[in-house]
Chain A
Amino acid sequence: MAQNLEIRRSSASVLGSLSGIRTIPTVSKYIDTTTCIGCKACEVACQEWNDLRVVPTQQVGSYQTLPTLHPEYWNLIRFNERDVDGGIAWLMRKDQCMHCDEPGCLAACPAPGAIVQYANGIVDVNPDQCIGCGYCETGCPFDVPRFHQTTGKMAKCTLCVDRVEVGLEPACIKACPTGCLHFGTKEDMLQLAGDRVAQLKATGFAQAAVYDPKGVNGTSVITILAHGDHPEWYGLPADPHVPLLVRFWKSVLRPLGVVAIFGAAIGAFGHYMNHGRKGVKGAADHDANLPEEVGRKGENE
Chain B
Amino acid sequence: MTNGWVDIKNTDVILAMGGNPAENHPCGFKWFIEAKKTRGAKLVAVDPRFTRTAATADFYAPIRAGSDIAFLLGIIRYAIDTKRFHEDYVKIHTNAPYIINEKFGFDDGLFTGFDAGSGTYDKATWAYEADPKTKAYAVDPTLQNPHCVFQLLKDHVDRYTPEMVERICGTPKDTFLKVCEIVTSTGNAQRAGTITYALGWTQHSIGVQIIRAGAMLQLLLGNVGRPGGGVNAFRGHSNIQGATDIAGNTEILPGYLKTPVGSQTTLKEYIDTNTPTTLNKEPWPSMNFWQNYDKFMVSLLKAAWGKNATKENDFGYQWFPKDDGNYSWVYIWDDAYRGHSTRLGGKEPGPEGLITAGMNPVGIGPNVPKVIAALSKLKWLVVMENYEIETATFWKAPKEYGTPDASQIQTEVFQLPASGFAEKDGTFTNSARWMQWKWKAVDPPGQAKTDQEILARIYLAVRDLYQKEGGACPEQVLNLSWSYTNPTAPDLGEVLKEINGKALVDIPDPKDKTKMIRTAGQQLENFGQLQNDGSTMCGNWLHLGVYTEAGNNAQRRSTADPTGLGMYPNWGFSWPANRRIMYNRASADAQGKPWDPTRPGIVWNGEKWVGDVPDMKPDAPPGTFGAFIMNAEGVGRLYAPALVDGPFPEHYEAIEAPLENILHPKVTSNPVSKKFTSDKDVYGKKEDFPIICTTYRLTEHYHYWTKHTQILNQLQPAFFVEIPEVLAQQKGIANGSRVKVSSARGTVEGVAMVTKRLRPMKINGKDMWQIGFPLHWGYAAGNTGHTGPLANFLTPSAIEPNVWTPEFKTFLVKLEKA
Contact = CB atoms under 8 A, between A and B. Distances in A.
Interface stretch (A86-94, A142-150, A242-250, A276-284): A86-94
B775 interface: no
Contacts of A34: 56
Contacts of A90: 50, 52, 54-55, 757
Interface stretch (B24-32, B212-220, B278-286, B653-661): B24-32
Interface stretch (B287-295, B681-689, B748-756): B748-756
A65 B128 CA distance: 57
Contact of A44 (B711, B754, B757): B711
A54 interface: yes
Nearest to B54: A90
A26 B296 CA distance: 62
Interface majority SS on A: helix, strand, loop or mixed?
loop
Contact of B735 (A47, A56, A92, A289): A289
A189 to B, nearest CB: 16
Contacts of B711: 44, 47-48, 54
Contacts of B34: 179
B718 A58 contact: yes
Interface centre among B699, B714, B736 (most CB of A within 10 A): B714
Nearest to B754: A61
A289 B30 contact: no
A39 B27 CA distance: 10
Interface centre among A59, A65, A199 (most CB of B within 10 A): A59
Given A39-B26, A61-B735, A289 B754 contact: yes
B715 A65 contact: yes
A90 B20 CA distance: 14
A2 interface: no
A290 B23 CA distance: 22
Interface string A33-52: 01111111101100110000
B756 A83 contact: yes
A177 B29 contact: yes
A62 interface: yes
Contacts of A48: 711
Given A81-B757, A178-B30, A291-B735, A60 B60 contact: no
B664 interface: no
A60 B738 CA distance: 10
Nearest to B51: A90
A289 B736 CA distance: 8
A180 interface: yes
B26 A37 contact: yes
A151 interface: no
B710 A54 contact: yes
B26 A178 contact: yes
Contact of A289 (B22, B27, B753): B753
Interface in A13-72: 34-41, 43-44, 47-48, 54-63, 65
B33 A88 contact: no
B495 to A, nearest CB: 31
Contacts of B750: 59
Contacts of A89: 55
A36 B55 CA distance: 9
Contacts of A4: none
B33 A35 contact: yes
Contact of A38 (B50, B52, B60, B756): B52
B515 interface: no
B700 interface: yes
B751 A59 contact: yes
Interface residue tally on A, bucketed by range: 35 or more
Contact of A60 (B30, B56, B714, B751): B751
Interface in B46-80: 50, 52-56, 58, 60
A290 B492 CA distance: 50
A61 B753 contact: yes
Contacts of A88: 50, 756-757
Interface majority SS on B: helix, strand, loop or mixed?
mixed
A79 to B, nearest CB: 9
Contacts of B37: 35, 196, 199
Contacts of B720: 59, 61
Given A37-B22, A41-B26, A203-B40, A57 B52 contact: no
B717 interface: yes
B29 A178 contact: yes
A178 B33 contact: yes
B522 interface: no
Contacts of A60: 735-736, 751
Interface in A85-144: 87-92
Contacts of B715: 40, 43-44, 57, 65
Contacts of A199: 37, 40
B274 interface: no
B751 A39 contact: no
Contacts of A203: 40, 58
B716 interface: yes
Nearest to B725: A81
Nearest to B755: A81
Contact of A37 (B29, B714, B755): B29
Contacts of A177: 26-27, 29-30
Contact of A35 (B56, B718, B719, B753): B56
A294 interface: yes
A178 B757 CA distance: 22
A40 B752 contact: no
A281 B159 CA distance: 56
Given A37-B26, A180-B33, A203-B58, A59 B718 contact: yes
Contact of A40 (B29, B58, B700, B753): B700
Interface string A262-293: 00000000000000000000000000011100
B714 A56 contact: yes
B717 A57 contact: yes
Contacts of B752: 61
Contacts of B60: 87
A83 B757 CA distance: 10
A284 to B, nearest CB: 15
Nearest to A64: B715
A199 B36 CA distance: 10
A227 to B, nearest CB: 13
A179 B40 contact: no
A56 to B, nearest CB: 7
A58 B699 CA distance: 17
B700 A37 contact: no
B178 to A, nearest CB: 11
A109 to B, nearest CB: 30
A89 to B, nearest CB: 7
Interface in A227-259: none
A92 B56 CA distance: 10
Contacts of B30: 177-179
Contacts of A61: 720, 735-736, 751-754
Contacts of A290: 736
B710 A62 contact: no
B751 A37 contact: no
Contacts of A289: 735-736, 753-755
Interface string B720-750: 1000000000000001100000000000001
A41 B37 CA distance: 21
A206 to B, nearest CB: 15
Contacts of B713: 54, 57
Interface in B747-771: 750-757
A180 B34 CA distance: 10
B84 to A, nearest CB: 22
Interface string B341-355: 000000000000000
Given A39-B52, A289-B736, A289-B753, 6 more contacts: A35-B37, A37-B22, A178-B30, A196-B37, A289-B755, A291-B736
10 contacts: A37-B56, A38-B699, A44-B711, A47-B711, A57-B715, A59-B716, A61-B752, A61-B753, A81-B756, A289-B736
Of all A-B residue pairs in the complex, the 10 with the closest CB atoms, nearest first, are A61-B736, A61-B735, A59-B718, A37-B22, A90-B55, A39-B26, A60-B736, A177-B27, A177-B26, A59-B751
